[in-house]
Structure 1
Amino acid sequence: MNNVDEDNALVNFEDDQADDLDTSLAVDRFRDAVLYGTDWTVRTLLQQIEQGNIDLSPDFQRRDAWSLRNKSRFIESVALQLPIPQIVLAERKEQRGTYIVLDGKQRLLTLAQFAGDFPDDHPLWDESRKVASLRLSGLRVLTDLNGKTYNDFTSLPDLAQMRTQFDNHTIRSALIRNWPDEDYLYEVFIRLNTGSVRLSPQELRQAMKPGPFTAFLSIKSAESVTIQKILGLSAPDFRMRDVDLLLRLIAFSTRLSVYRGNLKQFLDETHEFYNANWGVEQKGMEGLLKRLEDGLIFLCAAFGNERHVGRRYKGDNFESPLNRAVLDVQIASALDENVRRAVEEGRLDLLGTFQKMSINDQEFAQAVAGTTKSITAIRTRYNSWRAALEGVIGQPVQMPELPNG
């Protein structure tokens, strides 16, 4: 099953299009990194995964995106020895010979699911051992392989040559070594996908910053049906934009006062802070997550449509892409008891108030359009939304402590 709604989930986040990477990289930093290509066979790649040198974690497995048809067609292409798009790997600084996957996770996961010869306790199988081995279907060329598994390749004499061709087929791999810092990998990561699906840096952040909070984000965002509905998903997003959104909601709810204008750095530091202090922060984080989930449910009900939550209103309709800057202020108000009580008592039409402010408050409109990461834009949209709400309910509305500047 395909995990994404192709018409909606692959739409970019509308805000901060140019702000996911907040750095300017000097030319010499590209010269220092070592990039080279190598041709690894399918069997060699599988051995690298088996030994843990290429990490395909259970967190990624839960975000398996390819349909059975796509997986089968990919396996057919390998068996036919057709050229396969290259895999891009970055060597971990702390352990030579082990790699982060920058591009090609779905291809590697499909190979592992079909032909991996791993022990039952291998971390990759924490989830997938519960299901049967990948069985091919829908093949157009090698139709005799429909219904077959890799075990059939090994047990049926007529398929022995096919197995040899499959195992020995080479896949081009680009390896990056001696990369200067994470910003360099972010730049490569984004450029690899220019012209296709815009990726969230969260996918790389998950690989670069392992820890208990990292696992918490992945699991809890995958469990949140509300987040998925707001994003237009039917399942966890394989590009981890649901994880990105949950991280941002947490960061803006708890650490906004220390924001200094660099969005990526702010989210990176939030990630690192909660990983390092998870023993102290876990209980409070679990409570915050429940409040955030309740707040998102509240917003969906107040706006009458989950696809209106976190969207800009243009006078006659809501835009389709999610605007995270809009959702920042909406969720802040949804956590305020005076706002919730006013909506429940019928004293506040949250939808109507937001539509009216979107039309009449040009400063707010500018603060949620284009570049929204500046401290001025953040202060403007929080203060405007608070003033609009307080003007209706006549009571104070609590917002996060705002950054100075």
Structure 2
Amino acid sequence: MTAADAQEAPEVVEDVFDGKTTGIEIEREDPAASAPEPVIAKPWDPAQIRVSTSTFSLRNILDMIDEASLELAPDFQRGKVWKPEQKSRLVESLLLQIPLPAFYFAEDSEGRFRVVDGLQRLSTLHAFVRGGGDSFRLKGLEYLDQENSGFGDLPVQWQRRIYNAQLVVNVIDPATPTEVMYDIFKRINTGGTPLNAQEIRHCMSKKRSREILKRMTSMPEFNTATNNLGGHIRMNDREMALRFSAFWLQGVDAYLEKPAIDSFLERVTGMLDRPEEVPDEKVESLYADFRTAMTNAFLLFGEYAFRKWPEGTEARNPINRALFESWSVALTLYEAADLERRREAIVHAARRRMTEDFRYLEAITASTGDARRVRYRFEAAAEDARAGL
């Protein structure tokens, strides 16, 4: 054991959202690691970055949503955390004719739009005006005496005021490079609770990749191995499935050529959206290997799968995304019967590494996108999975 190995193990910190633990370990930055590659790694031609500004009536935008020409990112769950009072005061702002902050839409080559910024606001207004399962009544208003009113209960002139409200929309032209679209999103993502990287990818992606990741995280094998993480409120389940997909499709060497995790995952999201790059047959192979990995992980580690589990403790830590990506890829190579036979040796090797190898602990704790740390944790998982052979 080296002097570095003898250092104190990094503290495990679980992510918290809206006052509740999420079951996922936080990935921290380490000043000692190499600086991550910028999202935009080359100078872009400003002529390619086109954002135009238009004004739409709310009625027009709601019609676009109903006609499916404006997409509100299906399965996006974050909007549900808005409290009734927050939703009601948004509606009250329109009734008081207070201008709302500008919205951002991304236009695709077929003339359809996706909401880049303003998803929660538009979801709220659509639910109030057009109803459906997410409809609500006004509650906790500050100025207007319309407590417990639905849209249909408002005076006709107030309904008209809502419909005629003018919303300023910045539209990102489809000719803008995908990487720049992501960067624009990150720059304008300054709402009450900023979106995380996977939530941004979800909003910017197309239906095909969203359905692939949803199917992966809906598998019983995934939920058994992760203690029912599917449907995670911050989409960490989808990010983990995407990380597996990225390294399964591209390999570690491809990552090391351009070692920036967000850019890597954005590229693979685009690949999953294009059947010509990842055909349906390849997707079926992806599902099969993912199912195998989840089954094997639970067979070996049980309720400790993808969690730090050093020797001398039986406490169950939150799920670690770096462990998930490296071990899930490693375990696609083995049959269950083989792993069952070698289970004790593999678990011993993995736990010993988490106890004594400080370099490994760094690689799964902080600055996990660093090229050297990515390489080391994948090599370590592959080595430990061979224990007992």
1:136-155 paired onto structure 2 within 5 Å: 136-141=137-142, 144-153=145-154
1:183-262 paired onto structure 2 within 5 Å: 183-193=179-189, 199-206=195-202, 208-210=204-206, 212-221=208-217, 235-237=231-233, 240-256=235-251, 259-261=254-256, 262=258
How many angstroms does 1:377 deviate by?
A: 3.0
- Of 64-73 and 314-323, more deviation after overlay is shown by 314-323
TM-align CA RMSD: 4.2
- Deviations for 1:111-145, whole angstroms, at most 9, x for unmatched residues? 1122138xxxxxxxxxxx5x3x6131532336753
1:48 pairs with 2:43: no
1:135 pairs with 2:132: no
Alignment partner, residue 324 of structure 1: 321
Contact 1:315-1:355 at 8 Å conserved across structures: no
- Deviations for 1:87-116, whole angstroms, at most 9, x for unmatched residues? 122332x134x4232111111112112213
TM-score (norm 2): 0.72
Alignment partner, residue 173 of structure 1: 169
TM-score (norm 1): 0.70
1:115 pairs with 2:129: yes
- Partner amino acid, structure 2, of 1:324: R
Contact 1:136-1:148 at 8 Å conserved across structures: yes
1:267 to 257, 265, 279: 265
Distance change (3 Å), C-alpha of 1:265 and 1:34: closer
How many angstroms does 1:184 deviate by?
A: 0.8
What is the rounded CA distance, in whole Å, between the counterparts of 1:82 and 1:266 in structure 2?
41
1:14 pairs with 2:4: no
- Partner amino acid, structure 2, of 1:325: A
Contact 1:325-1:368 at 8 Å conserved across structures: yes
How many angstroms does 1:176 deviate by?
A: 2.9
1:65 to 57, 68, 80: 80
1:280 pairs with 2:295: no
1:394 pairs with 2:382: no
Alignment partner, residue 3 of structure 2: none
- Partner amino acid, structure 1, of 2:40: T
How many angstroms does 1:42 deviate by?
A: 2.1
What is the rounded CA distance, in whole Å, between the counterparts of 2:385 and 2:142 in structure 1?
62
What is the rounded CA distance, in whole Å, between the counterparts of 1:10 and 1:192 in structure 2?
28
What is the rounded CA distance, in whole Å, between the counterparts of 1:231 and 1:83 in structure 2?
44
Distance change (3 Å), C-alpha of 1:300 and 1:75: farther
- Deviations for 1:46-72, whole angstroms, at most 9, x for unmatched residues? 133234332225344x66533461433
1:380 pairs with 2:371: no
Aligned length: 360
- Deviations for 1:288-331, whole angstroms, at most 9, x for unmatched residues? 3432443454577342xx7xx34597999999776422222333
- Partner amino acid, structure 1, of 2:80: A
What runs of 5+ residues in structure 2 fail to find an aligned partner?
Answer: 1-16
What is the rounded CA distance, in whole Å, between the counterparts of 2:209 and 2:292 in structure 1?
17
Q: SS state of the match for residue 23, structure 1?
A: coil
What is the rounded CA distance, in whole Å, between the counterparts of 1:285 and 1:52 in structure 2?
30
What is the rounded CA distance, in whole Å, between the counterparts of 1:85 and 1:218 in structure 2?
32
